Amino acid sequence: MLTLVESMPADCYRERALSPARRYRSLASGAACLVLLAGCMTRHRPGAMPDAEPGGVQFQSYCAGCHEHAEAPPLAGSPWVAGPENRLIKIVLHGVRGPIEVQGQTDDREMPGFGKILSDADVASILSFVRRRFGTPSEPITPAAVSRVRAANQTRTDYWSVEELLREP
């Protein structure tokens, strides 16, 4: 039997049984809410994005907060995006710190590395998306290329500096 607890003065509680009519209304409204929520869930499936461009979802999750919605260096037309793929992979895996110039503007922030949380396939997908959207048309970056760069720098624990990236792309 369903019961309702009502608050009483001086922290006393009194329990009262619900009438059959009240119990029916309570169950009916709960069922209506479940039906409504179930209907919403069938129409809105967060994982199902058939029109999403490969890498675009990850870009929105990991990159857009700074590169589209904040004061981070712009990616469109950036020589860092269009430059050597190894350099771009290094930046995403380990991050970059220090003054960096893009389109005549110098920015002195740090970009965190995502190598510990993104797979080679994720990094390749994001960077291929970035190049398609913001750079010049080029071949997609492959998971194998990311794997090679990751293996070559597996002992690295710090951000890259701009000077290091320019010296050995």
pLDDT digits (tens, 9 = 90+) for 4-63: 444 444 444 344 455 555 555 544 444 444 433 444 333 334 444 445 678 999 998 889
Residue 48 lies in a domain: no
End-to-end CA distance of the chain: 72
Instruction: Note whether 83 and 165 are within 8 A (CB).
Output: no
Tell whether 66 and 100 lie within a shared domain.
yes
Residue 49 lies in a domain: no
CB atoms inside a 10 Å sphere around CB 4: 12
Tell whether 39 and 99 lie within a shared domain.
no
Residue 8 lies in a domain: yes
Domain count, the chain: 2
Domain boundaries, position 19: 3-43
More confident residue, 107 or 143: 143
Amino acid at 101: E
Q: What are the b/e assignments for 73-92, b being 16+ CB within 10 Å?
A: bebeebebbeeebbbbbbbb
Residue 158 lies in a domain: yes
Tell whether 19 and 91 lie within a shared domain.
no
Residue 51 lies in a domain: no
Tokens of 149: 């760069």
